[in-house]
Every structure is written in C-alpha cells, then in structure tokens.
Amino acid sequence: MTTIDGRQVIWRNGEEGAAELRPGRFGTIMLGENVSVVRWEFPPGTPKGKFHSHADHEQWTYIISGRFEVQIGDEVTILEPGDVSYAPKGVMHGNTLVVGDEPVVVLDIFSPPREEYVNAAAGGPPVEVGSDDAGGEAGGDK
C-alpha cells in the first residue's frame, strides 16, 4: 500500500477486498480529505435499487463497465461505460438496475465523505437502508 503522511494514495484493482458496505452490497472504499469513492460491482440479477436522496452528500457516478439504468429526478436513462451522473444534495435518485448480461462496475464519488461506509469497511455494521438516505437504498449506492 502506498501512503503519504499515513494516508493511502494508490488503490490497485483487486488488492483491496470488497467490504459489505450496505446489507448484501459489497464495495471498496477509497477515502480522501473531502470526498470518498466507492467501487461497486453489480452482477446481472442484482435487485433493483430504491429511489432515495442524500441530505448531506452530493453524489457522482462514473460507469466503468456494463449498462446501468438509473433515475435522477424524473428522468430515467441507461448509462454506459464512460457516462457520468450527478445527484445534488436532496435530489431523489436511484431505481438502479443492471441492464443486460454483464456485470456493472461503477465508481460513486461522495462529497463530503461517507464516513458510515468507512466504518463499515473497517469492520463495523453495514449501513442500513435509510440511515443517511430519504427513501432507501439504491442498487449501487448507492
């Protein structure tokens, strides 16, 4: 692990094991001073996520691979590799669904950092639906 002043600065794919950050949802968390990034992988057949919002966090999602249906506000769209979505604080988003027969890999970027995910990755309990969100859990929050 590469660190500067005690803070990890390099994450290599596959080196960090995924942790159960949400019940039944496993991700790898990467923490900076002002943001946290979660790498999620969702296999085909992952249950559709719920519509929710974050009172204290804005969220960016970058699609690495696969096709991912998502709703932000009233708009429903399918995101593909290289696409990005943004959910400002308080905006309903989610209803995520893996489209097709290949896994979806995403990076979720949260500002400020999702400390409850950091705690879950360190061996604490997975974050229960509704603990930071209004309306529940997303497929990748996702």
Kindly state the tokens that stand for 74: 């009233």
CATH number at residue 28: 2.60.120.10
In a domain, 40, yes or no: yes
What was the pLDDT predicted at 49? 86
Query: What domain count does the chain have?
Result: 1
Q: What is the DSSP string of 56-124?
A: S-EEEEEEEESEEEEEETTEEEEE-TT-EEEE-TT--EEEEEEESSS-EEEEEEEES--HHHHHHHTT-
| 48/25 Cα distance (integer angstroms) | 12
Convert the pLDDT of each residue in 51-86 to its tens digit: 989 999 999 999 999 999 999 999 999 999 999 999
In a domain, 114, yes or no: yes
Convert the pLDDT of each residue in 104-142 to its tens digit: 999 999 999 999 999 999 999 998 755 455 544 433 344
CA distances (Å), origin 90, targets 52, 57, 130: 9, 8, 13
Contact 111, 7 (CB under 8 A): no
Closest by alpha carbon to 21, among 134, 108, 111? 108
- For residue 101, the enclosing domain spans 17-134
| Higher pLDDT, residue 3 or 21 | 21
What was the pLDDT predicted at 64? 98
Contact 134, 52 (CB under 8 A): yes
In a domain, 122, yes or no: yes
At which residue do the structure tokens 């990748």 appear? 140
